[in-house]
Amino acid sequence: MSAETPRVLVVDDEPVIALCVQAFLEDDGMEVTIVNSGEEALERVGAGGCFDVCIMDVRLPGIDGATTVARLAALCPALRFAMHTGSAEYTLPDELAELGEIPLLNKPLRDMTPLAATVRRLAAGAP
């Protein structure tokens, strides 16, 4: 893990949102990988993909974001998460509470500076 160059996995089925997040975080000096489903995220991490932080969309086709986070955490306990949702009413499921802090970010992000700061803070705190 490198706090100076966080490795970020963005899981979002909306290409425009994923690409915007990727471009902003890369401009901020981060290494970003995009996948468009929970299944693809699990395959990537299960195959040894190394990431410090995962930005997870809540609503995904197939496996939903919360289930994917729980499974990714089991595969890679050092991975830290932020959830990304367009729903103002969404709250984290209780089963994710044991994973520690999981910031909830609302889409669309008009200013991505707080997102970059959150990713850097999570990456720096990862063991």
Q: Each residue of 4-13: pLDDT tens digit?
A: 799 999 999 9
In a domain, 22, yes or no: yes
Residue 86 has pLDDT above 90, yes or no: no
CA–CA separation, 93 and 69 (whole Å)? 11
Residue 2 has pLDDT above 50, yes or no: no
In a domain, 70, yes or no: yes
Please identify which residue in the block is written with the tokens 């979002």: 12
What's the pTM value of the predicted model, to 2 decimals? 0.92
Residue 100 has pLDDT above 80, yes or no: yes
Domain housing 121: 7-125
In a domain, 2, yes or no: no
Whole-number pLDDT of residue 37: 97
CA–CA separation, 51 and 28 (whole Å)? 16
In a domain, 85, yes or no: yes
In a domain, 29, yes or no: yes
Of the pLDDT bands very low, low, confident and very high (cuts 50, 70, 90), residue 3 is: very low
- In sequence order, what are the residues at sequence separation of 6 or more whose Cβ sits closer than 8 angstroms to the Cβ of residue 34? 10, 11, 12, 18, 19, 22
In a domain, 1, yes or no: no
Nearest Cα neighbor of 83 from 50, 45, 32, 38 is 38
Q: How many domains does the chain have?
A: 1
What does the pLDDT look like over 24-53, one tens digit per residue?
999 999 999 999 999 999 999 999 888 999
In a domain, 75, yes or no: yes
- In sequence order, what are the residues at sequence separation of 6 or more whose Cβ sits closer than 8 angstroms to the Cβ of residue 69? 54, 56, 81, 83, 96, 99, 102
In a domain, 101, yes or no: yes
Q: What is the CATH number of the domain that holds 117?
A: 3.40.50.2300
